[in-house]
Amino acid sequence: MNKTWLITGASSGLGRTMSEKLLARGDRVVATVRRKEALDELAQSHRERLHVAVLDVTDTGAVNRTIADAFEAMGRIDVIVSNAGYGLFGAAEEVTDTQIDRQIATNLVGSIRVIRASLPHLRAQGGGRIMQVSSEGGQVAYPNFSLYHATKWGIEGFVEAVAQEVAPFGIDFVLVEPGPTSTNFAARLDRADALPIYDATPSGDIRRALASGGFVVKGDARRSVDAMIAAGDAARPALRLALGSTAYENIETALKRRLDAIRSQKAEALGADAPIAVETVR
Task: Report d(CA 55, CA 48) in Å as an integer.
Answer: 20
| Residue 154 neighbours by CB distance under 10 Å | 18
Within 8 A by CB and 6+ apart from 34, the residues are 11, 54, 55, 56
- Greatest pairwise CA separation for the chain in angstroms: 86
| Residue 69 neighbours by CB distance under 10 Å | 13
Residue 5 in contact with residue 50, Cβ under 8 Å? no
Task: Report d(CA 269, CA 263) in Å as an integer.
Answer: 9
| Catalytically annotated residues | 134, 148, 152
Q: Which of 263, 249, 242, 17 is CA-nearest to residue 135?
A: 242
Residue 134 in contact with residue 156, Cβ under 8 Å? yes
What is the residue type of 189? L
Which residues are paired to 7 by β-bridges?
Answer: 31, 81
| Angle (deg, nearest 10), helices 60-74 and 110-124 | 30
Task: Report d(CA 227, CA 225) in Å as an integer.
Answer: 5
Its sign, for the CA torsion 194, 199, 204, 208, is positive
Residue 140 in contact with residue 97, Cβ under 8 Å? no
